[in-house]
Amino acid sequence: MHKEPVIIRQREIPAGIDLDTDLDPLLQRIYLSRKISSKDELDYGLKNLPSPMLMKGMLEAVALITEVLEADSKILIIGDFDVDGATSTCVMVKGLQAMGASQVGFLVPDRFKFGYGLTPEIVEVAAQQSPDLIITVDNGIASIEGVAAAKELGIRVLVTDHHLPGIELPAADAIINPNQPGDSFPSKNIAGVGVAFYLLLALRSSLRENNWFARQQLAEPNLAELLDLVALGTVADVVPLDHVNRILVKQGLARINNSMACAGILALLDVANRKPGNLAASDLGFAVAPRLNAAGRIENMAIGIECLLAEDDENAHQIAARLDSINMERRAIEGEMKKQALNDLKKIQLNEEMDIPLGLCIYDQNWHQGIIGILAARIKERFHRPVIAFAPAGEEQEGLKGSARSIPGLHIRDVLDAVATRHPGLITRFGGHAMAAGLSLQHDSYESFRHAFNEEVERQLGDMPLEKVLLTDGELDASELHLATAMLLRQSGPWGQLFPEPLFEGDFDVIDKRIVGKSHLKMQLSAGDRPIDAIMFNIRDGDESMARGKVRVVYKLDVNEFRGRKSVQLMVEHLQPG
């Protein structure tokens, strides 16, 4: 099958900057190439977090919750059905309970019945619990109608969100979102769980000043105990790891690695065969997050939230095992959907008069709505172009649901906004970020949207070539290809979106190779006069045949732990003849 060209390019290193003479030269080179200009940016102490009061609406939000606490009124948290939404919900529930709220519940919309956000329909369900205050987490900034419906029922609403707002904001009692107009909070990349955590920081400070904890005979809560959840949600939502987010993730990982995490996270790590002690952000992203996300994609994220809220190890393990089983089901469904999509694209390529569009839309009436986001990401990775995967919205809703994934240089939400502006009424609703978005269409609008989307992508991309560029940190000497270097790199993160894990390139000789787990290429390479293990996951057609003689490899240096023994291993991202 057709493959997009891959360009290997070394990262540029600014001249004239010396971060710290005590830094390992390799680390200094890596940090400089990621635009770190001061060693202060590598200080991940909590004292370096900016003030919560820099967030617009924080005073109003704190006053609103304080009033509800004083009256011992009922609070209902309404979250999202992804990991950021689940961790945001748990952080808010745990935090408010620790501050004396005796009536705190949560509700997560079933994505197949209600869709995303605070809709009028989910407000109707929420009203059955008679809440005095609804707090949205990781959603709400686009819920104009839902907030209005709540207000008509006499329910006050506090919106906490991080998604990009539209032209109109909901008429909530208070809104906290660092991306809303007029907000001066320095990090616009903070995840929904980070916003929830910041609200609790501000609330605790205000309650302390008002002598609340003494009056209620409550111990003042240590909110650092929630940082394991904050780290998980931040990594899972793939938000850019700016300094604020790196602090939150670093601190949360430290608690997890010291086995100070909640029972649910520890149980999920256990079923994923990960042990606290030397975990990195990638372990949260690739081991814990998918098992939680599977609940929201296949069944209901309430299962994931129950796991994270579990108080004892046995209960947490039982739910974690169920989540692991759901994730295996998700993987099977995803595999079939991906296979079908790739077969359909192969048919397109066999037609000499057609080519794969720059803006690619794919749809099948049998696809699972909960899996289309992952499918779009997989197809995007394969063809390096923006992809929107569609599935039927379900029996409870009409039309189609779409999940979009983009490539660097193309803001997918802006593309959808432009399509909506040029073709009024074509898109029922949409929202999202630069790299990911969701939307709804009427069923009979699919073909019109498919053409409009491709035209807009072509217009915005212009002459930009669709080349996958692998930015590397250069080559490692054979003497650096050892466990100590791999451990140093793992401990020098957290690495993630826009602060990527170091990627290296080099020439090796293939000593041995074999296929493991159906689609993974296990190799033994030679570096100088010593062998080194390497693995390439989810190989494509032709990758195995290239693994012979001398090869050019782009890789990450990783620590492989097997039966208590640690060794260095190359995680191969790209392979080509040397």
Question: Do 286 and 418 reside in the same domain of the chain?
Answer: no
CB–CB of 182/56 below 8 Å? yes
pLDDT digits (tens, 9 = 90+) for 491-535: 999 999 889 999 999 999 999 989 988 789 999 999 777 899 999
Q: Are 556 and 505 in contact (CB under 8 A)?
A: no
In a domain, 337, yes or no: no
Cβ neighbours of 68 (radius 10 Å): 21
Establish if 109 belongs to a structural domain.
yes
Are residues 62 and 96 part of one domain? Answer: yes
Statement to judge: residues 143 and 273 lie in one domain: yes
* DSSP alpha helix (H) spans, 113-152: 120-127, 144-152
| Residues 229, 90 share a domain | yes
Regarding whether 241 and 143 lie in a shared domain, the answer is yes
Under the banding of pLDDT at 50, 70 and 90, the label for residue 543 is confident
Residue 316 and residue 287 share a domain: yes
Domain termination site, one of 324, 341, 375 = 324
Nearest CA to 568 out of 578, 555, 577 is that of 555
**Residues 388 and 439 sit within 8 Å (Cβ to Cβ):** yes
Reference 554, options 528, 536, 568; nearest CA is 536
**pLDDT of 217 above 70:** yes
Q: Cα 421 to chain center, whole Å?
A: 28
Last residue of a domain, one of 445, 466, 487: 466
| DSSP notation for 297-341 | HHS-THHHHHHHH--SHHHHHHHHHHHHHHHHHHHHHHHHHHHHH
Confidence of residue 3 (pLDDT cuts 50, 70, 90): low
Identify whether the C-beta of residue 244 lies closer than 8 Å to the C-beta of residue 187: yes
Q: What is the pLDDT of residue 354?
A: 52
Same domain, 449 and 512: no
Check whether 2 has a pLDDT greater than 60: no
Beta strands per DSSP E along 237-288: none
Q: Of 432, 466, 500, which residue is a domain's last?
A: 466
Q: Is residue 11 part of a domain?
A: no
| 384 has a pLDDT exceeding 90 | no
Q: Domain residues for 392?
A: 356-466
Question: pLDDT band for position 353 (50/70/90)?
Answer: very low
Q: Note the Cα 379 to chain centre separation in Å.
A: 18
pLDDT tens for residues 141-192?
Answer: 989 999 999 999 999 999 999 998 888 999 999 999 999 999 999 999 999 9
Q: Which of 32-46, 340-354, 547-561 has the lowest mean pLDDT?
A: 340-354
| Residue 4 confidence (pLDDT) | 60
Residue at token pair 């710290």 = 20
For residue 283, give the CATH number of its domain: 3.90.1640.30
Whether residue 498 sits in one domain with residue 448: no
Is residue 419 over pLDDT 70? yes
pLDDT above 80 (res 114): no
Q: Which region holds residue 100: left if phi is over 0, alpha if psi is between -120 and 50, else beta? A: left
Residue 162 sits in the same domain as residue 225: yes
Dihedral (CA of 196, 413, 445, 354) sign: negative
pLDDT, position 282 = 94
If asked whether residues 444 and 495 sit together in one domain, one would say no
What's the CATH code of the domain at 432?
3.10.310.30
